[in-house]
Structure 1
């Protein structure tokens, strides 16, 4: 009992250390974001800022409607893209996981092939602007490069093949269920862990994406949050490097440059942090869902 107690305490200390190592950097970023810029230049980063300043957030939200609009666009594409992408991934992964599906090998090879080779940036751009006119539309932030990922398809196929017992599917056949009913009513409810995992991957990919906005958008009203924040940072850097006269130099010296980086990280990470507990609930629940009694 004593050795087991020592082992438990060792594990507790290990997990406390790991938790602190992940939380402390976030706290540091938050503290730096509310520190005065001159204090940062003089003393560097600190968990205990000598002078509190919200100038970085004031600068970011100078045009608050632009930030709010970018938030709305990012939330929309994240929700729609994640749900539609998850559904398409499951509907492709399930057939190729079935041993009785005639085109299983051909489709599996096609999915795997897309992981190894691609047409390059220029053909990719031409497809989604000339053949599929998505330029300057909200769909250009949802479909290209994000909606369906071959790696996620293979992950889900492996889960379906190894964790969904054929006895359950055969029982459903005997009871008169068709393929659609089996998929939506039986397979998906038993696949909570992989659905939560792939859903989280999709959510992070959409939330953090800025490249599609750069490539496909010229309409600033459709900019995603990450691209808008990146553009604000580039504007600050450009002004700092191209200040010619003394007045401009003094103005740039007063602008938050280091603290605004941290403020952008806090603004950008906020909602996605709140999504983790939601997915975590399904991770834990999914550990026991779908167990088959012998």
Structure 2
């Protein structure tokens, strides 16, 4: 039995090492490529270490640093406001569904789950947002569509509340005269920190990485671009210059491949900084909240 346990631990540790390497090595290659010269990337390809150090990509980005800082600020605003509103809507939706004697609970849960399988499609959704709600070229265009409420998060929160908050605690609060709002604020939310942190992290990442809303709904107001849309615009400009300047300038004068890597590094930095603070709650919440209840 001891030898079997040792063999099991060895193979599980080996699998985890392989998985970790499969996640870490591509990021190392990404960073190394961002500090490589365009000529070395064209000649040697990608590697764990730069063949020839170069800061051309970051120098090119530094030339528009004021615009990048503005795009960063917009992304932070979209992420903060969108995450808070998403959490409020999800919690107010999930808490009633966690009450087992709620009238119509199964019907509401069915309609919630139904929206995860079927939706109106892109064209009707776009027409509703643009022609009825008129959110084109506005702050709401980057916050409301597609991300403001996710039924999967509602189900996760409801499952967590159902399985981890004892009914006796809620009943005791009701006996003491607490209303549902007070129970939610004083009892349910403090006991739901892991799942709240998990949903907050997943929602924040979705908002931070969102660039489709900018493409669909921001056609004139480029000043509302978040970091993802702005970096995509910079990349398009670089590709245009590289294509139409062929034969007139050197390869390193307009970094094309390396700047893609540098832009990816800049875009992912806030996520890397924020994740360690949410790691503990994320693991606990995703483990418990994903269990069907």
Normalised by the size of structure 1, how large is the TM-score? 0.88
- State the Cα distance separating 1:286 from its structure 2 match: 6.4
Aligned to 2:54: 53
Q: Secondary structure at the match of 2:63?
A: helix
Mapped to 2, the partners of 1:18 and 1:56 lie a distance apart of 30
Q: Secondary structure at the match of 1:32?
A: helix
Q: Report if aligned partners of 2:56, 2:252 keep a CA contact under 8 Å in 1.
A: no
Query: 1:256-267 to 2 correspondence within 5 Å?
Result: 256-267=255-266
- State the Cα distance separating 1:273 from its structure 2 match: 0.8
Mapped to 2, the partners of 1:246 and 1:19 lie a distance apart of 43
Mapped to 1, the partners of 2:209 and 2:2 lie a distance apart of 47
- State the Cα distance separating 1:155 from its structure 2 match: 1.9
Aligned to 2:230: 228
Unaligned runs of 5+ in 1: 290-294
Q: Report if aligned partners of 1:193, 1:286 keep a CA contact under 8 Å in 2.
A: yes
Aligned to 1:91: 92
Paired residues, number: 286
Mapped to 1, the partners of 2:114 and 2:165 lie a distance apart of 26
Query: 1:104-143 to 2 correspondence within 5 Å?
Result: 104-143=105-144
Mapped to 2, the partners of 1:26 and 1:277 lie a distance apart of 17
Alignment counterpart, residue 239 of structure 2, candidates 234, 237, 240: 237
Q: Report if aligned partners of 2:195, 2:281 keep a CA contact under 8 Å in 1.
A: no
Q: Secondary structure at the match of 1:60?
A: helix
Q: Report if aligned partners of 1:236, 1:257 keep a CA contact under 8 Å in 2.
A: yes
Superposition RMSD on alpha carbons, in Å?
A: 2.5
Mapped to 2, the partners of 1:155 and 1:283 lie a distance apart of 12
Mapped to 2, the partners of 1:71 and 1:230 lie a distance apart of 13
Q: Secondary structure at the match of 2:64?
A: helix
Which segment drifts farther, 266-275 or 6-15?
6-15
Mapped to 2, the partners of 1:234 and 1:284 lie a distance apart of 38
Task: Give a deviation string over 1:217-255, Cα, whole Å, max 9, x none.
Answer: 121111011111112222222333445x742xx366631
Q: Secondary structure at the match of 1:74?
A: helix
Mapped to 2, the partners of 1:246 and 1:180 lie a distance apart of 68
- State the Cα distance separating 1:277 from its structure 2 match: 0.8
